[in-house]
Structure 1
């Protein structure tokens, strides 16, 4: 079963082979229709029946409300009455000035989990070529959810062309995302102002990528790196240890690093710290166990996979500090 309810894309076919393909530079109105985002999130008061057998009296519960789709009436979630809704159209409208005058280009947009999660991804026009013609492009991801799983999140992301690996770009010393919780009104202009400061973070990201691509690592360094990244804290085990190592994952990333990974033989990645990072990101994005390809991508963008990739980046940067 696919998590993807509907989506549209321009350029290469996405990870799951689904969606409506669009020619480049389509208006947002076309994107909304083809991505299945041309509906509203409606809300209604929660009510309950007091009594047995469904014959009791109906009472309101004003502290909470039901969110549902305007087109299909599909229920999406039950939330606090203070919850601030972000509409599907707002996700796309965020990119209007960026695409019309800012040089950005939408590449994918769509709906996950029947409408509970919404996203759009645009190429920023920023890119770099590392040694061996290893191309990395900059993107801006905007996503939200109405089921309690995600604040409205704006995230600069890099995509390595040769293998489609994704990696969050940290904004200064902070994490790589600007998050607006649903208890607050989503202010697109305020988020863009914060992102404006972060555009320079792409330049800092390039400097670090190049440093990683020039840092050769010994086999023992690689093994120690993978074990730091792929060791998870656990409750105290019978032998007194408090961490568990994912040996299957370590074997997999070692193989990717040693040459099985896409682009692992490029000069930028072969035997380098940049190769270490990409072994982990390829494992998370394309090979990690998941219920489906959609669940894997969802986790790689927003969940445990994103956290693991950030850890891989931080540990690699420490190697060249």
Structure 2
């Protein structure tokens, strides 16, 4: 059996004895975001936009509007470390993707969800991510990893605005306040998972949900796209953990079949970094969120 890690072996494992400087260096994050005026043509410049670049390699990260404030790698990790220390947590992994344009750090929460109390365990990982690219900001999410199949799903930590934009200076207290709401988000996900596990679905009902979300209701089953056909097979017994009492012929099992497809069967366009980034806050995340909401709206 192939060993699958939910973090796709990205990033650097963190040990308790490492200093923050050592962590930044090992993860390739020991640099700052610098800003420079943009000059073009023979003798032209603009005050409306600035070039954001890495202090170590001078590589351009993005073009910022004059309103955007850069957040620094050290600031973000210091805030996360402080929160973890205050709550007796240990940062497990930090790293960067897209040549430093994206930063992430994870800590495993001491809470495991056992859906229907049948040994179907899902871990919860608190995750902070920052994009140094214009148009995105700092996010705090929970990454739920079902152990039997390593299916991952990201859920935002709910507290007012979930994405911290860069229009103001870095505010560690505000970020710590959002981090503190993580436990409630875990409870919300646990309640939803158990609720879906109580909903019995026939093959026809599962097929209906999949076609509604990903297919064409005017076509026959054998004419549906690959995602519909594969997810149906996973739901009917071919998925990892599909025969557990929590998932067998249940709406929860159908959700897990979709998660397994998106996590491990969906075509990868680009690197593992691209796929994982999409799963955390891109199109893969959006597909999972939409399907989960479809099941919740109909059955809960």
- Length-normalised TM-score, structure 2: 0.86
Query: CA separation of 1:191/1:19 partners in 2, compared to 1, >3 Å: closer, same or farther?
Result: closer
Q: For 2:27, which of 35, 40, 58 is the aligned residue?
A: 35
Partners of 1:246 and 1:28 lie apart in 2 by 51
For the pair 1:257 / 2:243, whether they are aligned, the reply is no
Q: Please give the residue correspondences for 1:92-131 in structure 2 after superposition, counting only pairs within 5 Å.
A: 92-130=77-115, 131=117
Give the Cα–Cα distance (whole angstroms) in 2 for the partners of residues 90 and 254 of structure 1.
45
In structure 2, the partner of 1:134 is 120
Output the CA distance in 1 between the equivalents of 2:215 and 2:257. 16
Provide the alpha-carbon RMSD of the alignment.
2.7
TM-score by length of 1: 0.81
Could you tell me which residue of structure 1 aligns to residue 45 of structure 2? 60
Tell me what 1:143 maps to: 129
Structure 1 residues 172 and 42: CA distance shift in structure 2, 3 A: closer
Structure 1 residue 274 displacement after superposition: 1.1
Q: Name the structure 2 match of 1:8.
A: none
- Taking the aligned partners of 2:268 and 2:226, their CA distance within structure 1 comes to 14
Number of residues of Structure 1 aligned to a counterpart in Structure 2: 291
C-alpha spacing 1:13/1:169, structure 2 compared with 1 (3 Å):
closer
| Higher strand residue share | 1
Contact 2:49/2:66 (CA < 8 Å) preserved in 1?
A: yes
Q: CA deviation at 1:206?
A: 1.3
Spell out, residue by residue over 1:245-297, the C-alpha distance to the aligned partner (whole angstroms, 9 max, x if none).
Answer: 96111011112212222222222112111111111111112221121322221
| Aligned partner of residue 262 in structure 2, secondary structure | helix
Q: Distance in 2 between matches of 1:144 and 1:173?
A: 17
Distance 1:81 1:112, change over 3 A: same
Aligned residue number for residue 148 of structure 2: 162
* Map of 2:226 onto structure 1: 248
- Counterpart in 2 of 1:54? none
Give the deviation of 1:301 after TM superposition.
0.9
Say if 1:149 and 1:231 are closer, same or farther in 2 by CA, change over 3 A.
farther
Change (3 A) 1:311 1:72: same
Question: Does the 8 Å CA contact 2:38/2:46 hold for their aligned counterparts?
Answer: yes
Show structure 1 runs of 5+ residues with no match: 1-11, 51-57, 233-238
Shift of 1:31: 2.3
Structure 1 residue 305 corresponds to structure 2 residue 269: no
Q: Which residue of 1 aligns with 2:188?
A: 204
CA gap 1:122/1:25 in 2 versus in 1, 3 angstroms: farther
Check conservation: 1:286, 1:296, Cα contact below 8 A: no
Secondary structure at 1:95's aligned position in 2?
Answer: helix
Partner of 1:235: none
Q: Rate the CA distance shift 1:19–1:202 in 2: closer, same or farther, 3 A.
A: closer
Deviations 1:138-190 (A, max 9, x none): 2222112122352211112322122222223355698xx71012223332311
Structure 1 residues 261 and 40: CA distance shift in structure 2, 3 A = same
SS of 2:296's equivalent in the other structure is helix
Q: Does 2:71 match 1:86? A: yes
CA contact (8 A) 1:91 1:120 kept: no
Q: Can you give the 5+ residue segments of structure 2 that lack an aligned partner in the other structure?
A: none
Residue 182 of structure 1 aligns to a residue whose secondary structure is: coil
How has the CA–CA distance of structure 1 residues 27 and 264 changed in structure 2, closer, same or farther, with 3 Å as cutoff?
A: farther
CA distance in 1, matches of 2:135, 2:256: 27
Deviations 1:73-120 (A, max 9, x none): 111112112211111122312211222121333222211111111111
Decide whether aligned partners of structure 1 residues 209 and 116 sit closer, same or farther in structure 2, where only a CA change above 3 A counts: same
